[in-house]
Amino acid sequence: GQNIDQPTEMTATEGAIVQINCTYQTSGFNGLFWYQQHAGEAPTFLSYNVLDGLEEKGRFSSFLSRSKGYSYLLLKELQMKDSASYLCAVRGVNAGNNRKLIWGLGTSLAVNP
Amino acid sequence: DTEVTQTPKHLVMGMTNKKSLKCEQHMGHRAMYWYKQKAKKPPELMFVYSYEKLSINESVPSRFSPECPNSSLLNLHLHALQPEDSALYLCASSPTDGQGGYTEAFFGQGTRLTVV
């Protein structure tokens, strides 16, 4: 089967660093995505990893280990506006699902003052 | 222009009504998608169009009918919906990589649909 696991909820303090983990088991792998979604709004693209290692983009970084089926999203210098749901999604490699993302259930992050 | 525009933003319809959701992008993306999202759940893929042809239908009931009139437009025609169809309907587009895949999806702001 195909499965993506991420924590349901996390809480952090403004100015701190938080790491949101994602583990996956999918039939094939051709990239992992992180999206941010505020309540009532559409998901917005944060990062894409297809090779092992760390991708840094401003306050946000994403890490991938394909051998471990593991990724994390690191958010630094947290701001109140970072309170949102963070969705991990994996793209399969087979022709049948190459156009389809497999989504995790999302991690709801609350940033407190 | 890096936007996917959806109209209307909100829609309330009765179970006997016929309505349409519209989606437009001018980024030259040749893959477009309809997703359905319930509260506190991830987006659920409904349809994928690639080069204006329907390539994926995720066993969606026929009361939802997609249409892709051209490479910039995507419609979702609704007829005889049920209250459980109330959800946020998201349109997305992405550039294709020439091998049937894509790199990222740009989402529209969605249409909040309520069926009464």
Percent with pLDDT over 90 in chain B: 73
Residue B105 confidence (pLDDT) = 79
Nearest CA in chain B to A98: B101
pLDDT at position B1 is 59
Is A98 in Cβ contact with B109 (below 8 Å)? no
- Amino acid identity, residue A74? L
Q: Which residues of A touch B87 (CB under 8 A)?
A: none
CB distance A31–B103 less than 8 Å? yes
Q: Which residues touch B66 (CB under 8 Å, ≥6 apart)? A: B34, B46, B47, B49, B54, B74, B75, B76, B77
Residues of A with CB under 8 A from a CB of B: 30-31, 33, 40-45, 48, 85, 87, 89, 91, 95, 98-101, 103-106, 108
Which of B102, B106, B113, B114 is the best residue to mutate to test the A interface, defined by the most A CB atoms within 10 Å of its own CB? B102
User: How many CB contacts within 8 angstroms connect chain A with chain B?
Assistant: 52
Burial of B49 (0-12, 13-18, 19+ CB in 10 A): buried
Chain segment B8-55, per-residue pLDDT in tens: 999 999 999 999 999 999 999 988 999 999 998 999 999 989 889 998
| Regions in chain A scoring below 50 on pLDDT | none
pLDDT at A7: 97
Phi and psi torsions of B99, nearest 5°: -125, 20
Burial of B28 (0-12, 13-18, 19+ CB in 10 A): exposed
Q: CB within 8 A of A32, min separation 6: which ones? A: A22, A24, A48, A49, A50, A62, A64, A71, A88, A89, A90, A91
Lowest mean pLDDT among A49-53, A106-110, B56-60, B66-70: B56-60
| Cβ-defined contact of B42 to A45 (cutoff 8 Å) | no
- In our burial notation (b when 16+ CB lie closer than 10 A, e otherwise), range A69-108 reads bebbbebeebeeebbbbbbbbbbbeeeebbbbbbbbbbbb
How confident is the model at residue B98, as a pLDDT? 60
> CB–CB of B31 and A30 under 8 A?
no
- Cα gap A89→A9, rounded to integer Å: 17
CB-CB neighbors (< 8 A) of A41 in chain B: 109-110
Write the CB contacts of A67 (distance below 8 Å, at least 6 apart in sequence): A52
Q: State the amino acid at position B4 in one-letter form.
A: V
Residue B99's pLDDT band, with cuts at 50, 70 and 90, is low
Tokens 């990724």 sit on residue:
A71
| Residue B33: other Cβ atoms inside 10 A | 30
| Euclidean distance between the first and the last CA atom of chain A, given in angstroms as a whole number | 41
Tokens of A52: 């092992």
